[in-house]
Amino acid sequence: MKENCLQRIKTLYLGFFLVFFAQTSFPQEQTNDALFRALGGMQGVEKIVNDFVPLVITDKRISADFKDTNLKRFAMLLSEQICMLSGGPCVYTGDNMQLVHRGMRINNAKFNALVEQLQAAMDKNKVSPATQNKLLAILAPMQRDIVTQ
Ligand code: HEM
């Protein structure tokens, strides 16, 4: 009986040790995908982008800038970018923002117009204001690379 009890304690001790060892030696990958999930995951991001593109190409302030753009490719790359920046499992495969927008003569008014349409697309998809602000805060620093005028 005593022997049995001792054996169980030993097994339990070994179990605790193994769990502790596994956790310290192989830590779980730390990814914070809270924003990505708040946006509705990949389906949510793609819905937002698919609502955003028609708003952009019909906005008189910026539509001309997109007249020669492959919109399918643009939507795909923007979805990838938003997915990655919000902590989702994507890898952005497009070019860097400075290179892409170089020579487009984008000013602050155009930048703000595009952001306004992104907000409208998020409103349409019932994204909460707090979540919208988190995404916009991540995109805001790109203004330095995109606005050249
Ligand atoms: C936060 C703001 C912005 C973000 C996150 C953004 C993001 C992107 C991304 C991911 C691409 C695709 C990159 C690639 O082709 O490799 C792209 C392309 C493009 N962006 Fe932006 N952009 C922003 C602002 C703007 C503004 C303000 C304009 C003009 C008013 C603009 C015009 C374009 C155009 C025309 C293309 C397509 C370029 C081409 O056809 O090759 N973008 N943008």
- Return the exposure string of 85-108: e unless at least 16 CB atoms fall within 10 Å of the residue's CB, then b: bbbbebeeeeeebeeebeeeebee
The model's pTM is: 0.85
* pLDDT tens figures, 3-51: 665 676 566 565 555 455 555 555 555 679 999 999 999 999 999 999 9
* Contact indicator for 78, 49 with CB cutoff of 8 Å: yes
Q: Residue 136 and residue 119: Cα distance in Å, rounded? A: 9
| Cα 33 to ligand 1 centre (Å) | 24
Residue spans per domain, the chain:
34-146
At the topology level, CATH places domain 34-146 in Globin-like (1.10.490)
Ligand 1 cavity residues, CB under 6 Å? 62, 65-66, 69, 74, 77-78, 81, 94-95, 100-101, 104, 106, 110-111, 114, 139, 142, 146
Q: Residue 124 and residue 108: Cα distance in Å, rounded? A: 24
